[in-house]
Amino acid sequence: MNEGGLGDTLWIAGCLVFVFEGLVLALMPAGWQKMMSQMATVDPMRLRWIGVTAMLVGLVGIKLLTH
């Protein structure tokens, strides 16, 4: 396998997001719909903080795994 740069790694990571999202939709579509309808009732600011927290956890995980 060729060693790619950061750009290649980011493209691969983005593609993996699609794989996992598709897997969830394929395996449990009704559960996904229920979760989305529940999330529609959550305060947008709370969702923003959940998103920021998820990004920070992901960045820390990447940092720990790459060093």
Instruction: Express each pLDDT in 15-44 by its tens digit.
Output: 999 999 999 999 999 999 999 999 999 999
Can you give the residue range of the structural domain that contains 62? 6-66
Query: How high is the mean pLDDT of the chain?
Result: 90
Q: How confident is the model at residue 3 (pLDDT cuts 50, 70, 90)?
A: low
9 Cα distance to chain centroid: 15
Q: Is residue 1 part of a domain?
A: no
Q: Is residue 37 part of a domain?
A: yes
Q: What's the CA gap between 37 and 42, in Å, rounded?
A: 9
Q: How much is the pLDDT for 8?
A: 87
Domain count across the chain = 1
Q: How much is the pLDDT for 9?
A: 85
Q: What's the CA gap between 36 and 5, in Å, rounded?
A: 35
Task: Say yes or no to pLDDT of 4 above 90.
Answer: no
Q: DSSP states of 4-35 as a string? A: --HHHHHHHHHHHHHHHHHHHHHH-HHHHHHH
Q: What's the CA gap between 58 and 1, in Å, rounded?
A: 25
